[in-house]
C-alpha cells in the first residue's frame, strides 16, 4: 500500500468508473482526495472493467457518434425500458450531462473507437471505449496517480460513523488491521450487492444458489447496508436485479461479456423437463436478452437449454464455450442430460407448428408457429438440419437496483431530512433513474455523470 | 484440438492454448480497435493451426490487449495474447526454417553461440589472409586505407556473396513455407494493392504506433520508444546494406575501387546507417531488459539478444574500420568486421530476423483478406 491511510478532504469509497470520476472531479476542484478500493489491484475497477461503452445524448453527428440522439428520444427509450420507473428530473439531468462526458473522458486519456463488430445498431447512441472498460479504468487510475490522489487497494470500508446525517469517519479494514479515516465529505460509489451470495439468498431464496454473477466478486454491498442502517433513504427493491441468460458453464464470478448466448432467437429453449416456456422470437435479441435471466430463474433448478440446428451456425456471436452437439435430437438430449422422449416430442411439435415464411433475421420476419403454446412469433424454422447443438443457460446477474436516494447534487438523502455531507454515484444510486430494465451503456453514463457531480459537490462542501 | 474448458491452459502445446484464448477473444472483441489481429480473428469462427500461425505472426507484441483485458491473469481465463502468440511465433520460426535440419539452430542461437560463431569466422578469415601471405598487422599503415591489401576483392566478394546468396535462398524458402501454410497461392502475394498496403504498414510500423499514442512497451505506459528504436535499427541496416550495394556497383560498373572518400556515397550511407544501427539496437536492448515479464516469452530472450548484439557489433566494427582504416590495425579490424557481418548474415534465417519476413507476409495476407467481404462469422 503506498503510504498510510491519511485523513483527507474528500473520501471516495469504491474503485470503478463512478468512484474514479468522483475522485478526479473532486481533485479538479482542489480537494485532497483518498480513494479506497476493496479489491486487490489486479481486480480493481468493479463492474466497469467489463463494460465497453456509454450512451450519449447528441444533437448532431460527433467525432464518435453518427446522426443525432436528442434528449427526448433518449428519455423516451429510458421511459420505455423502465416502464416509467424513473425520477424524471434526475434522468433528464443525466441525459443532458451525458453530452459533455466524452470530452471530459478524453482529457484524462480515455480513447474511443467505432462501434464494435456485432453492435452496429449502437453506433448512433453509444460511444465505445478503445479496449473496453478495463482500458478506461486503467487510464483513470493513471490520471489519479498523476494528480496526487491517494489510492488504496485491498481497503474495505466496514463501517461509517454518521451522526445525524453528518459523516465523520470511515472504518477501513486494510492489511489485516482496522483503521479510521476521517474526511470532510464522503462519496460512496461502491456498487450494488450482487456478489453477496447470502444477501441474494435472502432476497431470492434458495434459487439464488444457482445464479451466476457476471461481474466482480467484490460488490458485497457492505457500504450500502451501512448507509441504509444509518438512516439513509433507500430506493428500489432488493429482489430486483438485472439478469440475463448466460452459459451455465460460466464461472461463478467475473465471466463478463464472453459468457453470453446469442442464439436464442434462432432456436428453441427448453427447461429441465424438455418443455418450451417462452416465445424465443418475441423481438430482436438485443431487446429481449435482459428478460431471459428472469425467465430461466423461474424454471425448475434455474436451468434451461437453447437448441439450434446447423442452419443457425455463423449467424450469432460465437460463444466462448463450444456447444454440445449430436447428429440426432435424441443424442443431443442425452448429452444435455434431458429426458430424450420429451425433447423429441417438443421439437416434433414445434417443427409441425412452423408456418412457411421468408426467414430474415434482420427484420421481424413472418416465420412463426401456429397452434403452439407458447408460440414462437418470428424466425421460427423447423429444427431438422443436423448436426444439432445445445447450450445450457443459467441466470447471470449483471447488477442490483437497491440503492440510496439522492438529489440532483448527488447528495444522499436522509430519512429525517437532515442535510448530509455524503454523496453517491454509480450503481449504488442508479436505482433513482433506472427503476427496472436496462439500456445498453446507461450504467456507465449514470456513473460518469453522477461521479462528476458527486466529486464536485463533495469538494465544494469540503472546502467551504 | 478443442479444449472445452476455457480455464484449461493447454500447458504443453502453445497452439492449444492459443486456440483457447482466441475463442475467448472472439466472444469478447473489445480489443478490435487496437491492431490488425482482432479484425482478422473476427473473420473466423474456428482457429486452425495455420490460422493461429498467421495471427501470431500478425501480432506486433505491443501489449495493449494484455493490459486492457478483463480476463488477463489472475483471472481464471488466464488470457494473455502477447505471451501466447510469442510462443506460437517461436514455433513457426522453427517450422518454416529451411533447410529443415538447421531449424535446430533456433534452440541454441543465444548470445554466446552467436559471438563464438563470429569469433570463429574472424579466425577463419585471419587464417585465410595469412595463407594468402598477407600480414594483418601492417608494419606501415597505409594512409589511403586500402583494405584489399589484406584480402583481395574477389575473395571478399566471393565469401560474402556466397553467404548472401545462401541467406537470401533460406529466407525465401521460409517465406514460401509460411505462405503455403496460410493456404495462399504465390500469385496472390503479388497483388499490387495488398502489397502496397502491407508495405506501408511495415515501413511505418503502423501497429506499434497506436494511432500516434505509441504502444504499451516496455510497460503499461504508452510510448513511441520501441517504434523509433526499431526504425533506427531497420533503416540503419537498410542504409548499410545500400552502402554495400552502391560500393559493388562502383566496383563492377565503373571500376571505382574502394576505399572511398569520407564524403562519397557509400561511406555517407554506411556511416549514417551505422550510427542508426548503434543507437537502434542499443535502445531495443535497453527496452527489452525492462520489459514486462508478464507479456513476454522468456525462452526467446537469448535469440533476441543475440540478434541485437550482432547488429550492434556489425555497426561498431564497421565504424571502427572506417575510422582506423589508415592505421596499423586496419587489417585486424577488417577481418573482425567481415567475420561479424558473416555471422550476422548466417544466423539471419535461424534467429530473430525472420520476424520481419513472416510479419510482413502476414500483413500482406491481412491486406488480401481485407479486400474480401466479411465472411459470415457471427454477424448476421
Q: What would the 3-class secondary structure string for A153-209 be?
A: CCEEEEEEEEECCEEEEEEEEECCEEEEEEEEEEEECCCCCCCCHHHHHHHHHHHHH
At residue A3, the pLDDT reads: 58
pLDDT at B189 over 80: yes
Please indicate whether, in this complex, the C-beta atoms of B34 and A131 are within 8 angstroms of each other.
Answer: yes
Q: Which of B31, B220, B378 minimises the CB distance to A118?
A: B378
Q: How far apart are CA B295 and CA B66, in angstroms?
A: 7
At residue B379, the pLDDT reads: 43
Chain B nearest-CA residue for A249: B5
pLDDT at B9 over 60: no
B40 lies within 8 A of chain A by CB = no
Name all domains of chain A by residue range, CATH numbers in brackets: 8-239+401-462 (3.50.50.60), 244-396 (3.90.700.10)
At residue B128, the pLDDT reads: 81
pLDDT at B4 over 50: no
pLDDT, tens digit, 9 for 90 and up, residues A33-84: 999 999 999 999 999 999 999 999 999 999 889 899 999 999 999 999 999 9
Of A421-425, B104-108, B356-360, minimum mean pLDDT range: B104-108
At residue A118, the pLDDT reads: 64
A117 lies within 8 A of chain B by CB = yes
pLDDT at B3 over 50: no
At residue B197, the pLDDT reads: 95
Q: Smallest CA–CA separation between A182 and chain B, in Å?
A: 33
pLDDT, tens digit, 9 for 90 and up, residues A98-126: 999 999 999 999 999 977 666 667 889 99
| CB distance A296 to A345 below 8 Å | no
B71 lies within 8 A of chain A by CB = yes
Chain A nearest-CA residue for B69: A134
Band of pLDDT at residue B139, cut at 50, 70 and 90: low
Q: Which residues of A touch B70 (CB under 8 A)?
A: 49-50, 132-134, 254, 256-257
B220 lies within 8 A of chain A by CB = yes
Please indicate whether, in this complex, the C-beta atoms of A142 and B221 are within 8 angstroms of each other.
Answer: yes
Band of pLDDT at residue B327, cut at 50, 70 and 90: confident
Contacts of B41 (CB under 8 A, 6+ apart): B22, B25, B26, B47, B55
At residue B1, the pLDDT reads: 38
B4 lies within 8 A of chain A by CB = yes
DSSP count for chain A of H helices, then E strands: 11, 18
At residue A2, the pLDDT reads: 46
Please indicate whether, in this complex, the C-beta atoms of B26 and A254 are within 8 angstroms of each other.
Answer: no
Q: Phi and psi of A136, rounded to 5°?
A: -60, -50
Of A97-101, A346-350, B36-40, B296-300, minimum mean pLDDT range: B296-300
Q: How far apart are CA A379 and CA A370, in angstroms?
A: 13
Of A38-42, B235-239, B301-305, minimum mean pLDDT range: B301-305
* Cα-to-chain-centroid distance, residue A57: 20
Q: How far apart are CA A289 and CA A444, in angstroms?
A: 19
Q: Smallest CA–CA separation between B14 and chain A, in Å?
A: 18
B183 lies within 8 A of chain A by CB = no
Helix (H, G, I), strand (E, B) or coil at B106: helix
Per-residue pLDDT of chain A (464 residues; tens, 9 = 90+): 445 788 999 999 999 999 999 999 999 999 999 999 999 999 999 999 999 999 999 999 998 898 999 999 999 999 999 999 999 999 999 999 999 999 999 999 999 997 766 666 788 999 999 999 999 999 999 999 999 999 999 999 999 999 988 999 999 999 889 999 999 999 999 999 999 999 999 988 999 999 999 999 999 999 999 999 999 999 998 888 899 999 999 999 999 999 999 999 999 999 999 999 999 999 988 888 888 999 999 999 999 999 999 999 988 888 899 999 999 999 999 999 999 999 999 999 999 999 999 999 999 999 999 999 999 999 999 999 999 999 999 999 999 999 999 999 999 999 998 889 999 999 999 999 999 888 999 999 999 999 999 999 999 999 98
Test mutation, A17, A111, A135, chain B, max B CBs within 10 A: A135
Residue pairs between chains A and B whose CB atoms are closer than 8 Å: 104
At residue B49, the pLDDT reads: 96
At residue A232, the pLDDT reads: 96
pLDDT at B376 over 70: no
Q: How far apart are CA A277 and CA A393, in angstroms?
A: 13
Alpha-carbon dihedral sign for residues A396, A402, A407, A409: negative
A55 lies within 8 A of chain B by CB = no
Q: Which residues of A touch B75 (CB under 8 A)?
A: 43, 254
Would you mind telling me the total number of residues written for chain B in this entry? Answer: 380
Please indicate whether, in this complex, the C-beta atoms of A258 and B27 are within 8 angstroms of each other.
Answer: yes
Interface of B with A in 48-67 (CB under 8 A): 64-65, 67
Please indicate whether, in this complex, the C-beta atoms of A118 and B29 are within 8 angstroms of each other.
Answer: yes
Please indicate whether, in this complex, the C-beta atoms of A318 and B45 are within 8 angstroms of each other.
Answer: yes
Test mutation, A122, A145, A317, A359, chain B, max B CBs within 10 A: A317
A35 beta partners: A12, A151
Q: How far apart are CA A81 and CA A283, in angstroms?
A: 14
Chain A nearest-CA residue for B67: A135
Element housing A269 (H / E): strand A268-271
**Percent of the residues in chain B that have a pLDDT greater than 90, as a whole number:** 70
Q: How far apart are CA A402 and CA A236, in angstroms?
A: 4
Please indicate whether, in this complex, the C-beta atoms of B23 and A318 are within 8 angstroms of each other.
Answer: yes
Please indicate whether, in this complex, the C-beta atoms of B29 and A318 are within 8 angstroms of each other.
Answer: no
At residue B153, the pLDDT reads: 84
Q: Smallest CA–CA separation between A319 and chain B, in Å?
A: 5
Paired sense of beta strands A166-174 and A177-188, if any: antiparallel
Amino acid at each position: 500500500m503506498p503510504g498510510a491511510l491519511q485523513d483527507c478532504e474528500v473520501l471516495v469509497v469504491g474503485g470503478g468508473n463512478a468512484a474514479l470520476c468522483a475522485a478526479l472531479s473532486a481533485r479538479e476542484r482542489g480537494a485532497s482526495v483518498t480513494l479506497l478500493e476493496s479489491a486487490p489491484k489486479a481486480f480493481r475497477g468493479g463492474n466497469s472493467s467489463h463494460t465497453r461503452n456509454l450512451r450519449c445524448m447528441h444533437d448532431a453527428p460527433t467525432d464518435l457518434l453518427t446522426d443525432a440522439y436528442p434528449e427526448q428520444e433518449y428519455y423516451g427509450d429510458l421511459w420505455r425500458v423502465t416502464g416509467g420507473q424513473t425520477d424524471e428530473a434526475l434522468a433528464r439531468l443525466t441525459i443532458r450531462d451525458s453530452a459533455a462526458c466524452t470530452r471530459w473522458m478524453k482529457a484524462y486519456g480515455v480513447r474511443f473507437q467505432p462501434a464494435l463488430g456485432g453492435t452496429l445498431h449502437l453506433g448512433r447512441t453509444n460511444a465505445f471505449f478503445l479496449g473496453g472498460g478495463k482500458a478506461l479504468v486503467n487510464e483513470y487510475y493513471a490520471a489519479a496517480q498523476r494528480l496526487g490522489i491517494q489510492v488504496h487497494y485491498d481497503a474495505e470500508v466496514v463501517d461509517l460513523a454518521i451522526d445525524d446525517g453528518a459523516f465523520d469517519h470511515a472504518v477501513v479494514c486494510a492489511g489485516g488491521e482496522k483503521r479510521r479515516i476521517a474526511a470532510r465529505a464522503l462519496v460512496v460509489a461502491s456498487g450494488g450487492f450482487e456478489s453477496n451470495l447470502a444477501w441474494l439468498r435472502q432476497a431470492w431464496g434458495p434459487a439464488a444458489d444457482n445464479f451466476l454473477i457476471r461481474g466482480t466478486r467484490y460488490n458485497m454491498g457492505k457500504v450500502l447496508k451501512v448507509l441504509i442502517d444509518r438512516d439513509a433513504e433507500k430506493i428500489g427493491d432488493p429482489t430486483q436485479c438485472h439478469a440475463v441468460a448466460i452459459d451455465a458453464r460460466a464461472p461463478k464470478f467475473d465471466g463478463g461479456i464472453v459468457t453470453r448466448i446469442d442464439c436464442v432467437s434462432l432456436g428453441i429453449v427448453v427447461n429441465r423437463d424438455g418443455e418450451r416456456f417462452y416465445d424465443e422470437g418475441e423481438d430482436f435479441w438485443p431487446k429481449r436478452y435482459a428478460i431471459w435471466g428472469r425467465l430461466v430463474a423461474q424454471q425448475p433448478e434455474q436451468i434451461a437449454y437453447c437448441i439450434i440446428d446447423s442452419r443457425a451456425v455463423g449467424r450469432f456471436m460465437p460463444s466462448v464455450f463450444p456447444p454440445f452437439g449430436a447428429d440426432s435430437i435424441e443424442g443431443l438430449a442425452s448429452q444435455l442430460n434431458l429426458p430424450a422422449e420429451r425433447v423429441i416430442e417438443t421439437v416434433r411439435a414445434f417443427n409441425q407448428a412452423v408456418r412457411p415464411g421468408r426467414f430474415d433475421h434482420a427484420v421481424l420476419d413472418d416465420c412463426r408457429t401456429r397452434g403452439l403454446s407458447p408460440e414462437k412469433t418470428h424466425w421460427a424454422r423447423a429444427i431438422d438440419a443436423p448436426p444439432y447443438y445445445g447450450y445450457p443457460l443459467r441466470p447471470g446477474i449483471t447488477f442490483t437496483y437497491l440503492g440510496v436516494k439522492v438529489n440532483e447534487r448527488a447528495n444522499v438523502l436522509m430519512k429525517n431530512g437532515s442535510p448530509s455531507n455524503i454523496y453517491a454515484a454509480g450503481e449504488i444510486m442508479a436505482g433513482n433513474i433506472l427503476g427496472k430494465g436496462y439500456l445498453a451503456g446507461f450504467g456507465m453514463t449514470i456513473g460518469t455523470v453522477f461521479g462528476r457531480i458527486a466529486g464536485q459537490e463533495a469538494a465544494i462542501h469540503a472546502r467551504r | 484440438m478443442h479444449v472445452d474448458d476455457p480455464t484449461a491452459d493447454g500447458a504443453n502445446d502453445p497452439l492449444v492454448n492459443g486456440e483457447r484464448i482466441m475463442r475467448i477473444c472472439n466472444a469478447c472483441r473489445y480489443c478490435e480497435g487496437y491492431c490488425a489481429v482482432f479484425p482478422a480473428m473476427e473473420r473466423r469462427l474456428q482457429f486452425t493451426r495455420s490460422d493461429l500461425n498467421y495471427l501470431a505472426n500478425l501480432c506486433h507484441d505491443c501489449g495493449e490487449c494484455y493490459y486492457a483485458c478483463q480476463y488477463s491473469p489472475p483471472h481464471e481465463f488466464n488470457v494473455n495474447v502477447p505471451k501466447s502468440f510469442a510462443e506460437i511465433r517461436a514455433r513457426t520460426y522453427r517450422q518454416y526454417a529451411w533447410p529443415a535440419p538447421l531449424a535446430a539452430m533456433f534452440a541454441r542461437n543465444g548470445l554466446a553461440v552467436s559471438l563464438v560463431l563470429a569469433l570463429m569466422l574472424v579466425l577463419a578469415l585471419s587464417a585465410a589472409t595469412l595463407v594468402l601471405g598477407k600480414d594483418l598487422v601492417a608494419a606501415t599503415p597505409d594512409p589511403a586505407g586500402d583494405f584489399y591489401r589484406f584480402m583481395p576483392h574477389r575473395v571478399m566478394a566471393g565469401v560474402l556473396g556466397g553467404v548472401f546468396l545462401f541467406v537470401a535462398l533460406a529466407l525465401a524458402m521460409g517465406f514460401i513455407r509460411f505462405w503455403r501454410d496460410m493456404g495462399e497461392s504465390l500469385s496472390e502475394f503479388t497483388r499490387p494493392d495488398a502489397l502496397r498496403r502491407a508495405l506501408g504498414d511495415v515501413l511505418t510500423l503502423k501497429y506499434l504506433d497506436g494511432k500516434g499514442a505509441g504502444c504499451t512497451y516496455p510497460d503499461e505506459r504508452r510510448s513511441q520508444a520501441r517504434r523509433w528504436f526499431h526504425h533506427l535499427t531497420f533503416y540503419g541496416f537498410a542504409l548499410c546494406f545500400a552502402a554495400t550495394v552502391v560500393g559493388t556497383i562502383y566496383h563492377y560498373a565503373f571500376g571505382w575501387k574502394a576505399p572511398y572518400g569520407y564524403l562519397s556515397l557509400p561511406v555517407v550511407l554506411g556511416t549514417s546507417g551505422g550510427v542508426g544501427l548503434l543507437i537502434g539496437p542499443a535502445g531495443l536492448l535497453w527496452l527489452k531488459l525492462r520489459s514486462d515479464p508478464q507479456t513476454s516469452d522468456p525462452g526467446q530472450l537469448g535469440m533476441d539478444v543475440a540478434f541485437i548484439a550482432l547488429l550492434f557489433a556489425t555497426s561498431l566494427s564497421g565504424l571502427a574500420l572506417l575510422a582506423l582504416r589508415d592505421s596499423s590495425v586496419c587489417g585486424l579490424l577488417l577481418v573482425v568486421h567481415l567475420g561479424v557481418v558473416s555471422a550476422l548474415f548466417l544466423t539471419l534465417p535461424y534467429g530473430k530476423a525472420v520476424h520481419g519476413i513472416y510479419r510482413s507476409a502476414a500483413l500482406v495476407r491481412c491486406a488480401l483478406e481485407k479486400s474480401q467481404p466479411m465472411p459470415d462469422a457471427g454477424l448476421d
